Structure 1
C-alpha cells in the first residue's frame, strides 16, 4: 500500500479541522456541535480516500500485471533463444554422429585393405623363401 495515501488523509483531516472556527472556541471538553462537525469531516475524508484507495489499488494491480507480463515475455524470449541453441546443438550432434559413422566405415575399409596388403606381402615373402629353400635343396647347397 502506498504511504502517501494515509499521510494525505491525515493532512486533510488536520487542515479541515484547523480551518474550522468551532475547534478554537471551546477548550476541553468539546461540545456536541464540534464532535458532530468532526465526525462529518472525518466521514467525508474517509469516503474520499477509500474511493481513491480503490483506484490506487487498481492502478497498483495494473502495474503489477504489467510487470508480470513483461517478465513473462522476457522469460519466453529467453526460452526461445535457449530452444534455438539447443536445436543447433542437436543438429551438430547429429552431424558428428554421421561423420563418426562415415569415419568408422572408411577406417574399417582402410584397415581391411592394409591387412590384405600385409597378408599378400607375407605370402609373397614366404613363397620366395620357400622357393629359395627348394632351389638350395635341389642344388645340394643345403643338405637335409
Structure 2
C-alpha cells in the first residue's frame, strides 16, 4: 500500500534514488529503465516480482516509483507528477548541473522522501494520530492552566465568591 522506492534517471543513469525498505530495487530499476527507453512511451506500468513500477518520462528524464501490488492506480502517477514538477521548477535541478556526484542529488533524496511519506496511507494515519494526541495535550494543558489561574484568584479573593 505504499511507495517503497523512487528514483530519477537521465537515460539509464540514476541521478537520485531513495528506498524506504530493503530490497534489490536497483537491479529491477535498471531493467525497468532499459524497458522504458526501448518503449519510448511517456508513461508506463511494469510489474516485476511483487512490485509494480510506474514511470513518467519528461524531457529525457525518467521518474520512477515502485509500489506493492495493492497500490491504487491514482497515487503513483500523482506522486511522479509532484516529483517531476519539483524537479523541473528548480533551476539547480537542470540536466547540466544535476549529476549523481553532485550534492544536489543528495538533497533531492529528501524531496523524494517527503513526497513518498506524503503519499503513503500508513504515514497519513500515523501523522493524523500524532496530531490528535498533540492537540489533546494542548487542550489538557490549557484547561489545567485556566483552572490554576481561577484557583489562585479565588484563594487571593480577587474574584468574588
Band the TM-score falls in, shorter-chain normalisation: 0.3 to 0.5
- Kindly indicate whether structure 1 or structure 2 has the higher relative contact order, using CA contacts under 8 Å at least 6 residues apart: 2
TM-score, with structure 1 as normaliser: 0.37
Higher helix share: 1
Higher strand share: 2
